[in-house]
């Protein structure tokens, strides 16, 4: 690090939402959101989706608190043409939310672009995902002592990178090549930081800045 260089910090806030699936808890925490976000939340048909959406927004609010940004800015939450969320008027701020199983994550930073993904390590049929990995990656998965965990290692990297890039599935997963702790997409390099959330999950942060200072916060 160069003397005087500004340190890029990323906060990753996360919550175990399994115990909050009770409707009483949902209603209690829902009151913490502004009315438009409450209405949007109730449009989700599945209880699990409502709870994941709710706590994603609550983690975002907590992230704004950490950065000393007024919570009222969440009223300016919007989405770009790729359906990636952002807050109008806060061009310096970037955040990203992911959820899987019992966990919801929110990565937030004032100094780097971020993408985050978490996946519960569940059994899958690799043949159904044949187009998501290139030949070298499938070879690495096959040689691994735990092929399932290795598959999710690559999957979360790819997901975090395309979420940071913002174009989501416009970028073919098969074309994403991982080199050590970074990925390059069309001359843009994304740096990777593994997250330690739960041994039964795999999670990765992608950032546009190398050697970020990472702070993890378990909430709720």
Q: With 90 as the cut, is the pLDDT of residue 151 above it? A: yes
Sign of CA dihedral 107, 9, 164, 141: negative
Q: Once rounded to an integer, what is the mean pLDDT over residues 37-61?
A: 96
Query: How far is the C-alpha of 95 from the C-alpha of 2, rounded, in Å?
Result: 26
DSSP 85: E
Question: pLDDT tens across 155-187, in order?
Answer: 999 999 999 998 766 788 998 999 889 999 888
Cβ contacts of 140-148, under 8 Å, gap ≥ 24: 148/121, 148/123, 148/124
Q: Which residues, in sequence order, are CB contacts of 179 under 8 Å at separation 6+?
A: none
pLDDT for 19: 87
pLDDT for 168: 63
CA contacts within 13 A on the Cβ side of 98? 27
Q: Which residues, in sequence order, are CB contacts of 192 under 8 Å at separation 6+?
A: 157, 160, 161, 178, 181, 182, 183, 204, 205, 206
Question: pLDDT tens across 65-90, in order?
Answer: 999 999 999 999 999 988 899 999 99
Q: Residue 179 in 3-state DSSP?
A: strand
Q: Once rounded to an integer, what is the mean pLDDT over residues 93-116?
A: 97
Helical axes 23-30 vs 47-66, angle rounded to 10°: 40
Question: Is residue 160 a contact partner of residue 117, using CB atoms and an 8 Å limit?
Answer: yes
pLDDT for 73: 97
Confidence of residue 3 (pLDDT cuts 50, 70, 90): very low
Question: pLDDT tens across 129-140, in order?
Answer: 999 999 999 999
Which residues pair with residue 42 across a beta bridge? none
Distances (CA, A) of 42 to 1, 52, 64, 97, 172: 47, 12, 23, 18, 32
Q: With 70 as the cut, is the pLDDT of residue 153 above it? A: yes
Query: How far is the C-alpha of 3 from the C-alpha of 21, rounded, in Å?
Result: 48
Q: Are strands 9-16 and 213-219 parallel, antiparallel or unpaired?
A: parallel
Percent of the chain with pLDDT over 70: 96
pLDDT for 7: 77
Domains defined along the chain, listed by start: 9-219 (3.90.470.20)
pLDDT for 187: 84
Confidence of residue 56 (pLDDT cuts 50, 70, 90): very high
pLDDT for 5: 52
Q: With 60 as the cut, is the pLDDT of residue 108 above it? A: yes
pLDDT for 170: 75
| Cβ atoms within 10 Å, residue 36 | 11
Query: How far is the C-alpha of 153 from the C-alpha of 148, rounded, in Å?
Result: 9
């Amino acid at each position: 690090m160069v003397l005087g260089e500004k340190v890029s910090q990323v906060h990753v806030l996360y919550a175990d939402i399994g115990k909050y699936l009770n409707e009483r808890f949902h209603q209690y925490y829902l009151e913490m959101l502004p009315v438009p976000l409450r209405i949007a939340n109730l449009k989700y048909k599945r209880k699990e989706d409502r709870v994941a959406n709710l706590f994603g927004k609550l983690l975002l609010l907590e992230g704004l608190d950490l950065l000393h940004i007024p919570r009222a800015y969440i009223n300016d939450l919007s989405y770009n043409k790729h359906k990636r969320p952002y807050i109008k008027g806060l061009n310096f701020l970037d955040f990203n939310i992911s959820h899987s199983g019992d966990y919801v994550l929110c990565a937030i930073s004032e100094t780097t672009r971020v993408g985050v993904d978490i996946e519960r390590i569940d059994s899958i049929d690799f043949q159904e995902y044949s187009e998501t990995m290139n030949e070298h990656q499938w070879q690495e998965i096959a040689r691994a002592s735990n092929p399932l965990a290795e598959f999710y290692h690559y999957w979360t990297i790819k997901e975090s990178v395309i979420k940071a890039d913002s174009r989501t599935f416009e970028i073919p997963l098969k074309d994403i090549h991982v080199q050590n702790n970074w990925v390059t997409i069309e001359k843009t390099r994304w740096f990777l930081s593994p997250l330690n959330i739960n041994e039964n999950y795999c999670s990765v942060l992608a950032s546009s800045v190398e050697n970020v200072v990472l702070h993890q916060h378990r909430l709720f």
